[in-house]
Structure 1
Amino acid sequence: MAASYENDFAEWTREQAFWLRSGDLALLDKQNLAEEVENMASGYRHELAMRCVGLLAHLARWQRQSGHRCGLWRKLIDIQRTQILRMLNRAPSLHRTLREADFVQDVWLDALMRVVGEDHCFDLPETCPWSLEQALAPDFFPD
């Protein structure tokens, strides 16, 4: 008996994988399977967004709190860049996302929410002062 997508997701996914591998496509739950595949792509985009938020928040701190800069801050920026570049290598189609104005604005607003209230971060601009390509450059540290 087939597992229910709604009642036992873990078993349902195991069965879907089995039927895909066996070639018995008639038994696939095509509608839910297609939705789950689409959700996987959304998950990658969400992870990219969260990493870009972290990077932009760290760069905003770097720029606005120059008196507090330290090796740890530089390391955190480098780590976010590395993680983003790894994601882009695994999913090259996400490069387009970095140039989408809505995506950039959304991640910038989320970055602002992270740093609001911190010293010297009250007057950050409403739009991102850097492109994401610029923010990902290994030698970019705004002054």
Structure 2
Amino acid sequence: MVKAKEELKQAYNKDFYKWLQETRETIKSGKLENLDTEGILEVIEDMSRTLERKLESFIMRLMVHIYKWENFPEKRSKSWRFSIISSQKEIKSLLEKNPSLKGKVEDLIQEAWDKATDWIVAETNLEYEDLPEKCPYTFDYIISFFPDKEDLAKWPYNT
């Protein structure tokens, strides 16, 4: 049953899943005048921000492990190597599926670096003052960085 516009608006705040289902049915029925356009706009904006945060998160993880790879060679691990390669794949996939996100990359680099420094400080003997404030990496550098398996530290579990 197609709901009236006001009913849909109320459902948005009370039961988001129900609102999605009813909005779908309203669109299918062709009764577009009943759509909660404000709610739809909010969902679209949230989805855009979610994609940006996802990209930023992968960039952050990638930078953390590249930084540690470059600055702590004696501790290089398979998990760091895996994180670098898998993050690059995730970023490439996300940008292939959403090419317009490429325009956000430069804006996200510094934000990702600011968050990456928290992670680096938490996992190393470094302090914030030891790390560059400005991101030391370009997007081209991090997306093409390749950690050779021959460069893994010679820990017992890496052999």
TM-score (normalised: structure 1): 0.88
- Residue correspondences, number: 139
* Alignment-derived partner of residue 129 in structure 1: 136
Change (3 A) 1:93 1:140: farther
Within-5 A mapping of 1:76-87: 76-87=83-94
| 2:60 paired with 1:40 | no
* Alignment-derived partner of residue 154 in structure 2: none
* Unpaired stretches in structure 2, ≥5 consecutive residues: 149-159
Cα distance in 2 for residues equivalent to 1:83 and 1:68:
24
Give the CA deviation at 1:86.
0.9
Q: Do the aligned partners of 1:134 and 1:140 also contact (CA within 8 Å) in 2?
A: no
Within-5 A mapping of 1:1-143: 1=3, 2-3=7-8, 4-100=11-107, 103-119=108-124, 121-122=126-127, 123-139=130-146
Larger RCO (alpha carbons 8 Å, 6+ apart): 1
Cα distance in 2 for residues equivalent to 1:15 and 1:61:
49
Cα distance in 1 for residues equivalent to 2:48 and 2:110:
20
Give the CA deviation at 1:119.
3.5
Change (3 A) 1:117 1:31: closer
Give the CA deviation at 1:139.
3.0
- Give the SS at the match of 2:137: coil
Moved over 2 A (4+): 117-122, 138-141
Change (3 A) 1:66 1:138: closer
Cα distance in 1 for residues equivalent to 2:58 and 2:126:
20
Q: Do the aligned partners of 1:108 and 1:128 also contact (CA within 8 Å) in 2?
A: yes
* Unpaired stretches in structure 1, ≥5 consecutive residues: none
Question: Which of structures 1 and 2 has the bigger CA Rg?
Answer: 2
Change (3 A) 1:140 1:98: farther
Give the CA deviation at 1:94.
0.7
Change (3 A) 1:45 1:98: same
Give the CA deviation at 1:118.
3.6
- Give the SS at the match of 1:126: coil
Which protein has the bigger helix share? 2
Q: Do the aligned partners of 1:65 and 1:120 also contact (CA within 8 Å) in 2?
A: no
**What RMSD, in angstroms, separates the aligned Cα atoms of the two structures?**
1.8
Change (3 A) 1:79 1:108: same
TM-score (normalised: structure 2): 0.80
Structure 1 residue identity aligned to 2:115: D
Cα distance in 1 for residues equivalent to 2:28 and 2:93:
29
Cα distance in 1 for residues equivalent to 2:57 and 2:72:
22
